[in-house]
A and B are shown apart, each in its own frame.
Chain A
Amino acid sequence: MKLPQLFVTFALVAGSAVHAATTIVRGPYLQTATPTSMVVRWRTDNTEASVVSYGLERNELTSSAKAEGIGTEHIVQLTGLKPNTKYYYAVGAAPVPPPNPAKKAAEDAPGRAAINSFTTPPPVGPAKPTRVWVLGDPGTKNATQMAVRDVYYKFTGSRATDLWLLLGDNAYPDGTDADYQKAIFEMYPQTLRISPVWSTLGNHDGKSANSITESGVYYDIFTLPKRAEAGGVMSGTEAYYSFDYANIHFVCLDSHDSDRSAGGAMMQWMKADLAATQRDWIIAFFHHPTFTKGTHDSDKDSDSQGRMNDMRAIFLPVLEQAGVDLILTGHSHVYERSWLINGHYGKSDTFNASQHVKQKTNGRSDGEGAYKKPRRRAPHAGEISVVTGSAGHAGSATKPPPLNHPVFYLSLNEAGSSVIDVDGLKLDFVFLNEKGEKRDWFSIVKE
């Protein structure tokens, strides 16, 4: 054999060997969950086909779905699913035969052909006990992020996380693919495989993403419902969107890189979306807080180029008019939680508790009592605003942030994450710090 032929043969053999060793390097992770469909995504180190095998029993993955073509980024949508139903699934290049029951794989075992599971969302409308994990600014990749994560895992135990929200700045410093790999995919692999994640764009994510052409890392990684696949009104963009889960309507806004003007497309869409919903609860989330005196200052117009001011002065009145119940934001690396408030759209020195606080209690069922709102959709009935942007780190301990915005009942310079439990007409909220302490809690009850 001549040398060039030998080289070609060697290359082919080597190539085959590499192909045979293809492994999953990201995911699988779940996106755009609806009662009847689920998007499953993963990445392999080599090009191959995209197939998801799934079924109602671990050992009977009798259905399969595939995407056209081959690649390393795999996006497969499962359709025709039953609502509120547990499915087992495995990803790979071809339909996977069910494993030998004698070798039952651990649910969170990594690698190809591992069998994972998810539960489809329930039918839209009727209530179902729902747990939501909320992570703001998590992506530091450091011990604090891990501690916050582990505290939640211990807290939730065997209780499933129905969905989780990322409030932006998911991967520091620049939201690159490598940043995301470490800060999200290697940080939360277990949760990614079993619980759908929904995200909003933060300023650090924006460094590697281009919202105007909707391209770049953030838009490549997430599959979000631009065509109202999961409920709500069609936005036509992944930058802002809405979705329903049971009796909750979630509204995701882009406070970073979309037009925030009163006449802009995002506002036009949001008004129509809010007017259309029939869900009991409305929860809005976006990156830049309407109020904060943490590591950012919502009183300063120059801070974040006026984005916080825009969200407070332009979007908050419309959200309140529509009867929003809870507003979740990050950006400021602290925890700040308001009273039940309404109608405060100015700087902190214009805040007037007698005018802007609907119920000046701590909202705790075991304290001064839960916040009460009428069930009938009432404009300006009050909402709780929560800045929970410390899932990756808190503000400086040596030069602590002022944390003195009067709109807040409680402000903490502590790392942690938040948990929402909705059960019918009751919403319970908890903030867990990185030490595992329940540092704040409140409830809203609709009557």
Chain B
Amino acid sequence: MVNETVIKTVNLDCFFGTQHVLKNINLEVLPHEILGIIGPANSGKTTFLRALNRLNYLHRTYSQTGEIFLDGREIHQLTDNLLRKKIGIIFALPQVLPVSIFDNVAYGPKVHGITNRQAVSQLVEEALKRAYLWEEVKDRLPEPAVRLSGGQQQRLCIARTLAVEPEVILYDEHCSGLDPISTAKVEDAMQQLKAHYAQILVTNNTKQASRVSDRCAFFLMGELVEIGPTHDLFTNPRDKRTDDYITGRFG
């Protein structure tokens, strides 16, 4: 069990300018699990996700201390490109590139140097199948991706991430813009992906976390209050603040 973490953070502290956004986060992500991260707004959930693939560094004032391990290696040993290839992210709103459905998914392989057309089509098809979108779009691959519905677009984003063959997938409140039916489809896709990937799901929606995740972490004001198996966390929280949050006393 000791070595079986995919991601491990040790004493992770994150700052935007002088603002201390995450405080001493120690957390592990196991293979094949969906780790839910819940907490009220501004509790540092998104910052945590984006620390894992160093997207936070797109902000000029960002700095962090502590260590993050991916498969036992400190992530600073990896280039940004390789790290982000290994850790894919799905953003809050479906964000597709203004190109065709096919090109959206093919973009990742293309930038990673896969030029063989057949190989690319194969990757695209496989990624779309895994994201449970293939049946709906297989006849309209050259169409602009913006014509897809919101839920389809979000699954397209998942497919786009899968096409670069990551090890971990991060979801940043990725269902917040979707209706219940689309959400259900996206959640289905996530369950199927457990066979291959570790997944981290940040959500404002505690119900979704309890539905989807295997383990769950509760963040509050930049601190990791509690982490444990989802069922335990929701039925028998150890910390009073967790209890307050999931019973809806704040947030």
A binds B: no
Please give the residue numbers on chain B whose beta carbons come within 8 Å of chain A beta carbons, in ascending order.
none
A interface residue numbers (CB < 8 A to B): none
